Structure 1
Amino acid sequence: MSKSLALAVALLRAGQGRLLPGLLLILAAVLLHNIEATPLHSMQSSQFDRYQRLLPRTRANEPVIIVGIDSQSLVALGQWPWPRDRVGELLARIQAGGPLAVGLDFVFAERDQHAPDLIARRLPAASAELLHKLPDPDRALANVIAQAPTALAVVGLSRELPGARNPIHPLPTLHIDPDADTALPRFASALSSRPELQLAAAGEGFINASPDGLISHSERGILRRVPTLAHIQDQPYLSLPLEMFRLALGGGQVVVEGGASGMQAIRIGDYRLPTQKNGELLLHFGKASANYYLSAADVLAGVHPPEIFASRFVIVGFNGIGLQDRVISPLGDSLPGADIHAQVIESLLEQTALRRPHWMPLLEMTALLAGGLLLISAVPALRPRYAVFTFAGVGAVLVGTGYLAFVTGRWLFDGPSLTLLLSPVFMSLLGNTLIVADGRRRLAEQQLQASREDAARVAGELDAARRIQMGLLPDPGKIFAGETRFAIAAILEPARAVGGDYYDCFMLDASHLCIAIGDVSGKGLPASLFMAIAKTLSGTLTRRHDDLAAAVCDIERELSRENPGFLFVTAFIAILDVDRGTLDYVCAGHDAPLIKRQGTVMRIETADIAGPPLCALGDYPYPSGRTQLQAGDLLCLFTDGVSEACHGEQLFGSERLIACLADLPLAPVDTLCRQIRDEVRRFEAGEAPADDLTLLLLSWPGPKLSER
């Protein structure tokens, strides 16, 4: 591993994998606090636009009509600026309908170039004298303006410019907290209309953005916020649409709600709009519609009756190519400035606007920190897939909260930016989780490899133990090859690699055969070791004693001498006189053997002489019994691996074994032994053996003819 990679891993693992995510969370909080100075601000604005495109404001009514000086009007009436008397004629036709208020979305800062005295300056003296007798068009326009509530446009200036003229109609009454007042935009000067027009107008409203320019109000040509209130040379003025609204209410008072956190809302009469702390309105845009526009040429031509303007707000503005400053709305519509004024009036009438109060950034900061701390506490304890689901859930909650807040109350909550800021936190946590998971995987692989090696070693040892154990057992086919006085065969199949069953068969002398079968309690290695000891002692002590019962008692004492595992052995040991067929036997807690005689199967009666298993009581005086075999008898010794073989809850049992013996055909004993074993395995039907299976079959054909 390179040093740089090792350093990265150490950084991810520092503080149990939580140090780096904690630092990234702090960095994310700093970026969120200063989001307007980061590229995230564009993402935030785009998300707020997406909210509006999802649910634009419904423009059901038509309270505002825009009389546009459009291309049609320029063709019909000539280029702009028109003579003031023609503008006055247009206003007169509008006023005839009784509008609530009229707003002029342009400034008449200079005298009308068609004024008689200005024309006279370019004519001979004789002709000029006649022109002086004609009326002044500016005064004529002023007379028309005075006939109805009319608001003139004002352009605020950030510094004094030549030709600047201040407005003369500040708000007569304004109720505002001094702390909120300090946050409002302020203009050093303004560009207003001619004095005679100012005197005739009922009010004046500014039409431009705040002094800091369009940077804070539009992004990539998209207009999102419009000012509502500003100071021009320390005098308060409303924006043009709000001034029109105030005039329509008869000059009602304006109340500003707010305090130390800045402006929160503006109220004109009984109508209220939420604002930003600097008085800007987050406008909820509706889709553009041609229904709001009338051509100035059509109005002058009388195409529209005056009644169309009754009880409506009328804005006269530019709507022709080359005469307007068009803006793009968050909905993607290209709108003239007059349409923005119309939407402000509609919003005030509906008392609805987008809301992002001063505490919203604090709420977003809280959500960011809560989400980050949740990830830092939960992700390290989860698996990678669940960690991804957790982050996806946190992101879905944040993004979904933003959409839900907008749909329910037009709140602007920036969920996507929070999710993006939490991404580095999650990635660092996920990286640590993956490193931990990889470490665990490597450790598991090492442990698995070690366990495989151990298992292979144990398997090898068990295989060796099995070979040794099976090597301790005699092979009757080899030992008694060529023997005609009897036939013997045996099978031992451990339930595990090694087992606790054993059998034995050997000649004590020329005419006495010793056979033994035993079953050690337990299974596995301990039982196999005890089995080897029991078999060895049985063979040794049986050879040393002439009395079988005494030999068994001696075996029991030797086995009990060193038995820390408290194991015991069931055993059946017998000595057959192979010439006469007498069978002496001792039973130590073992199943009684079976004899098949002339097709009938019977048990050797051991109830009277049977004792407990070896090592069960200690120093038990085992008696012996005797039975006489008949010619053709088949003796069957077995362990409980045969009688207790199971299939589900059923046991093979001694009755099935008796039936199996009864059905055996005439065949060599080794074949019969395998047939019994196969019948037991068929009964088990593939289930794992519950115990070791041991069988020993002895066939006695009877005494030789010379002995009869």
Structure 2
Amino acid sequence: MTGSKSFFRLRRRGNVWPTWLAALFIALLVSMATGEQTRQALFDGWQRLSPRDSAAPKVRVVLIDGESLSAVGPWPWSRYYLGRLTEDINRQGPKVIGFDVLFPEPDRAKPELFAKMYPELTPEAASEVVGLPSMDQLFGQVIGQSPVVIARAGASKGVTDPRLLVVDAQFEGTPPKGTDHWPAAITAIPELEDTALGHGLVNGQPDADGVVRSVPLIGSVVGRTMPGLALELARLSLDAETIRVSSQAVELSGRRIPIDPRGRMHFRFGEFPHANIVSARQVLGHTLPTDYFRDKIVLVGLAAEGTSDIVATPLASENFGVVVQAEAIDTILNGGWLSRPTWAAAAEWLGGALLALAALAVAWTGRWPRLALTAAFVAVPIASWLAFDRLSLLVDAVRPLEIGGAALAGVVVGLFADSRRERERLRNALLQEQMAAAKTEGELQAARKIQMSMVPPRSKLAAADPRLDADALLEPARSVGGDLYDLARLDDDRIGFLVGDVTGKGVPAALFMAMSKALTSFVLNRENRDLGAAVASVNEELLRGGAEALSVTMIIGVLDLRDGGLSLVCAGHEDPITVEISGEARSHRLDGGPPLGLVEYPYPVETLKLSPGDALLLVTDGITEAQDAAGALYGRDRLLLETASRTQSATALCEGLRDAVRTFEGGIEPTDDLTVMVLRYLGQNAER
């Protein structure tokens, strides 16, 4: 193991500021360029997560659909059938009827045109036909006798005379400056326009991505404020005369409905009840209950193929525009509108700034600030969702997460660069120390002999017990290293063993290794019935020794030769690997604890089981962290792959693994000690 300092405790962080600022600048540009799209995508997700419950008890929709066209004829229908449709609806006593259809042209079935189509008519008959009232007049009479609202549309060309554009509602207040306005309007022909109870604008352009998320409540035509179709129908259903407007809301009969700067109402979409939608054919065929439309707001719109007003919404890629208008009316009456408060943008930028500063701060702080930062990143989308679901507020979570996430990425990149620079500095410093220590090579060689004498010879391991095939090897990276291993009989049927790795290299590591090995062997034999207590005693002694700069990772175990049972304690060491007799290699994740000599810790005792023929493989990170010339690591996956299917002796497995690592390194100088131990359990029957 290396003795590098903690990643977050480096004192020199020269690369953090530039990378933090660069990432922050890029995030700001991206957020300003794509903020609207990402915000809309987020709010669409919230809508899909929790759609509105659209019971719509006061709204009915009549669709002029394919069935209706099959029964009556192609669109546009003669005003005669529209008059019949209106009469049949009005007969049930609706509160108001709205046509989400424009009637800018006269009916094609004019009496004079009909007479011209039949030149065979006698002059008397032709004169009688020409004298008949037009279907537009008849439809206008029906509209005049019914509570009908006719659609208008703001346009660049059309009616521009304000005197011809009657506004039925009384408006008070000043609408938003950004309210959609048009220099002209497309209106119905005078026979219909002049007899209608009300008029409403049907302009409802989708957002830039083609999705309808709002319905205009007000608009301006030739300088006059006019209600949208949904607002006018809601007004008449509430018997209200006055609509109060301001820069942020429309007030109607005690309802304060938020609007955006263009005068649009954003609202929560839902599944409009199918029971509230009928075909015009059902109305004309008198197949509906006699009170189906009583005291209801009735919307008539197109839904037949080739004529329908199809729009996309946050919940569906295709929906009828008249149904969206119906949902908007129900929202006005029963609530469910959404608003983006004036402080939302400032709060989002402030949240992003705070996350960015917090990300920068964690570069110099410890564990708890990093946990707090993680909690803040999690809290932002939760707060956005709660604001949407509970308060009907549109507060973006993407912007602060983009800014904070980019800043954090910049900090991580900077810290990584600083960490590599610091490691390189330490490596060079260590190299210089080693070069200086070459003058005392004789002493180092003596120390190496002492170190190697502290571990049992391989021949002793091989003769430990006939029920066990054991071997181990240790190759220091330089003259003296910090790895250690040991194996000793505890009683007639139990074998104690350990593999460890001291932080650092050289003589200090070797001395600390010797002390750790001596303590462990002594305590393990003294407390051989309680492995957890033995490890705790070793840790206590190492802490008392005061070697503040050094610690040791260790895996300590006891093998019961009667049944292959293993008791293990892991102190920050590489996880053990078992190689089954079938050749399958498996890594076993142990809970364990920190390296010995750092802090007091209640190390748990964990168990495994070896079947006859199975082998236990223990290594130090000199294998998993071995590097080739390109700096790639040998890794645990390669270790498992190399170990799998090796069912030979413990010695062959040890040496084969050592040779595989050296081949991988390609002849470069090893950066760490290499230690491997193999214990192959032969079974109870192998006993002499």
Per the normalisation by structure 1, the TM-score is: 0.57
Q: What is the Cα deviation at residue 273 of structure 1? A: 1.5
User: Superposed, which structure 2 residues align to 1:180-195 within 5 Å?
Assistant: 180-195=175-190
Tell me if the contact between 2:353 and 2:400 (Cα under 8 Å) persists in the aligned partners: no
Q: Cα–Cα, structure 1 residues 404 and 155, in superposed 2: closer, same or farther, change >3 Å?
A: same
C-alpha distance in structure 1 between counterparts of 2:100 and 2:377, whole Å: 45
Question: Which amino acid is 1:170 matched to?
Answer: V
Aligned to 2:24: 25
Q: 1:132 aligned to 130, 133, 138, which one?
A: 130
Q: What does residue 338 of structure 1 align with?
A: 322
* SS at structure 2 position matched to 1:254: strand
**For residues 352-501 of structure 1, what are the structure 2 equivalents within 5 Å?**
352-381=336-365, 392-449=374-431, 460=442
Match of 1:293 in 2: 277
Deviation, 1:295, is 0.8
In 2, the alpha carbon distance for the partners of 1:67 and 1:49 equals 28
Q: Assess, with a 3 A threshold, how the Cα gap between structure 1 residues 113 and 448 changes in structure 2: closer, same or farther.
A: same
User: Structure 1 residue aligned with 2:220, among 227, 231, 241?
Assistant: 231
The count of residues paired between Structure 1 and Structure 2 equals 439
Amino acid at match of 1:240: L
| TM-superposition CA deviations, 1:121-165 (whole Å, max 9, x none) | 4444443201133232212111211223211000110x2259999
- Equivalent residue in structure 2 for 1:253, among 242, 246, 265: 242
Displacement of 1:208 in angstroms is 1.4
Structure 1 match to 2:211:
222
The DSSP-based 3-state class of the residue aligned with 2:338 is coil
How many angstroms apart in 2 are the aligned matches of 1:204 and 1:167?
12
Tell me the equivalent position of 1:176.
173
Mark the CA change 1:51 to 1:166 in structure 2 (over 3 Å): closer, same or farther: farther
Cα deviation code 1:380-435 (max 9, x no counterpart): 5569xx99867654432322222222222122222124322333322221111011
Q: Is the 8 A contact 1:69 1:295 kept in 2?
A: yes
Aligned counterpart, 2:675? none
Q: CA deviation at 1:15?
A: 6.2
Say whether residues 1:92 and 2:92 are aligned partners: no
Which letter does structure 1 place at the counterpart of 2:422?
R
What amino acid maps onto 1:63 in structure 2?
K
1:598 is aligned to none
Q: Which amino acid aligns with 1:118?
A: L
Matched, 1:151 2:140: no
Alignment check: 8 A CA contact 2:27 2:402 kept: no
Once the two structures are TM-superposed, the CA of residue 75 in structure 1 deviates from its matched residue by: 0.4
Q: For the residues of structure 1 that align with 2:267 and 2:402, how far apart are their CA atoms?
A: 26
Query: Would the aligned equivalents of 1:379 and 1:387 in 2 still touch at CA under 8 Å?
Result: no
- The one-letter amino acid paired with 2:137 is R
Q: Deviations over 1:145-199 (max 9, x none)?
A: 1223211000110x2259999863315421223xx44221111101111112112
**Is the 1:101–1:149 Cα contact (8 Å) retained in structure 2?**
yes
**Contact 2:15/2:415 (8 A) holds in 1:** no
- Matched residue SS, 2:219: strand
Question: Which among 260, 264, 280 is matched to residue 276 of structure 1?
Answer: 260
The verdict on how the C-alpha distance between 1:371 and 1:128 changes in structure 2, with shifts beyond 3 A counting, is same
**Secondary structure in 2 aligned to 1:272?**
strand
Tell me the equivalent position of 1:607.
none
Structure-2-length-normalised TM-score? 0.59
In structure 2, the residue matched to 1:242 is 231
- 2-structure distance, mates of 1:286, 1:167: 38
Contact 1:74/1:80 (8 A) holds in 2: yes
CA distance in 2, matches of 1:446, 1:15: 19
- Partners of 1:90 and 1:300 within 8 A in 2: yes
In structure 2, relative to structure 1, the CA distance for the partners of 1:117 and 1:448 (3 Å cut) is same
Gaps of 5+ in 1: 1-12, 258-262, 466-646, 649-686, 691-708
Question: 1:306 aligns to what?
Answer: 290
Measure how far apart 1:462 and its partner are: 9.3
Distance 2:369 2:316 in 1: 38
- The percent of aligned pairs where both chains have the same amino acid is 26
Contact 1:224 1:329 in 2 (8 A): yes
> Do the aligned residues in 1 keep the contact of 2:311 with 2:320 (CA within 8 Å)?
yes
* CA deviation profile, 1:26-45 (whole Å, cap 9, x unmatched): 5544554xx3xx24432222
Report the alpha carbon displacement of residue 268 of structure 1 after superposing the two structures with TM: 1.2
One-letter amino acid of the structure 2 residue matched with residue 160 of structure 1: K
Cα RMSD, aligned residues only: 3.2
Bigger mean CA offset, 444-453 vs 138-147: 444-453
1:321 aligns with 2:318: no
Amino acid at match of 2:299: I
Measure how far apart 1:66 and its partner are: 0.7
- What does residue 76 of structure 1 align with? 71
Quick check: 1:166–1:191 contact (8 Å CA) kept in 2? no
Structure 1 letter corresponding to 2:346: L
**C-alpha distance after superposition, 1:635-659 (max 9, x if no partner):** xxxxxxxxxxxx99xxxxxxxxxxx
* Contact 2:141 2:195 (C-alpha < 8 Å) held by counterparts: yes
For residue 169 of structure 1, what is the amino acid of its counterpart?
Answer: V
SS at match of 1:152: strand
Task: Give the distance between the partners of 1:389 and 1:456, measured in 2 at CA.
Answer: 46
Residues 454 and 206 of structure 1: CA distance in aligned 2, closer, same or farther (over 3 Å) = same
Instruction: Identify the range of structure 1 (233-242 vs 425-434) with the bigger mean alpha-carbon deviation.
Output: 425-434
Q: Tell whether the 8 Å contact from 1:164 to 1:192 is kept in structure 2 after alignment.
A: no
Structure 1 residue identity aligned to 2:17? R
- Greater relative contact order (Cα 8 A, min sep 6): structure 1 or 2? 2
Instruction: Decide which moves more: 336-345 or 108-117.
Output: 108-117
What's the offset of the Cα at 1:226?
Answer: 2.0
Q: Is the 8 A contact 2:358 2:373 kept in 1?
A: no
| CA offset digits 1:523-552 (Å, max 9, x no partner) | xxxxxxxxxxxxxxxxxxxxxxxxxxxxxx
> Distance in 2 between the 1:174 and 1:192 partners?
20
CA distance, structure 2, for counterparts of residue 297 and residue 167 of structure 1: 34
- Secondary structure, aligned partner of 1:378: helix
Aligned partners of 1:193, 1:165: CA distance in 2, in Å?
Answer: 15
CA–CA distance in 2 between the matches of 1:265 and 1:441? 61
**What per-residue deviation string (whole Å, max 9, x for no partner) do you get for residues 186-245 of structure 1?**
111011111121121111101113xxxx4xx32443211221101111111111111111
Given that 1:165 and 1:189 are in contact with CA atoms closer than 8 Å, whether structure 2 keeps it comes out as no
1:662-677 aligned at under 5 Å gives the runs none
Q: In 2 relative to 1, CA 454–387 (structure 1 residues): closer, same or farther, beyond 3 Å?
A: farther
Q: Is the 8 A contact 1:283 1:353 kept in 2?
A: yes
Distance 2:416 2:53 in 1: 50
Shift of 1:378: 2.2
Residue 616 (structure 2) aligns with: none
Q: Which of 27, 51, 62 is 1:56 aligned to?
A: 51
